[in-house]
């Protein structure tokens, strides 16, 4: 996911459209597995709102109402 680090680090704004290389990494990633590795320490380094923005931009969005680390993805499970 090093291809995406520039797009998910704090500060929370601005949100920048990720590169094709970043989207390629997102498309290949097992996001539930990635989310299981997100610790409170990781959440101090990366902005989870930006992570959601990136995965949505790359057309591999999180399930609304799911969790990534301690971050609750907006929306509800339907």
Domain layout of the chain by residue ranges: 2-67
15-19's contacts with Cβ under 8 Å and 24+ in sequence apart are 15/49, 15/50, 15/53, 17/57, 18/54, 18/57, 18/58
Closest listed residue to residue 8, CA positions, set 36, 30, 38: 38
Q: How far apart are CA 54 and CA 12, in angstroms?
A: 12
- The pTM of this model reads 0.90
Q: Alpha helix (H) ranges present in the chain?
A: 5-8, 20-28, 31-36, 40-45, 48-57
Quote the pLDDT of residue 7.
97
Quote the pLDDT of residue 77.
57
pLDDT digit string (tens) for the chain, length 78 residues: 789 999 999 999 999 999 999 999 999 999 999 999 999 999 999 999 999 999 999 999 999 999 999 999 988 655
Quote the pLDDT of residue 2.
86
């Amino acid at each position: 996911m090093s291809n995406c680090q520039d797009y998910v680090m704090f500060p929370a704004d601005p949100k920048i459209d990720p590169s094709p290389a970043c989207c390629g990494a997102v498309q290949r990633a097992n996001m539930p597995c990635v989310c299981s590795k997100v610790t409170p320490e990781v959440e101090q380094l990366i902005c989870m709102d930006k992570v959601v923005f990136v995965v949505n931009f790359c057309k591999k969005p999180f399930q609304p109402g799911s969790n990534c680390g301690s971050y609750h993805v907006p929306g509800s499970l339907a």
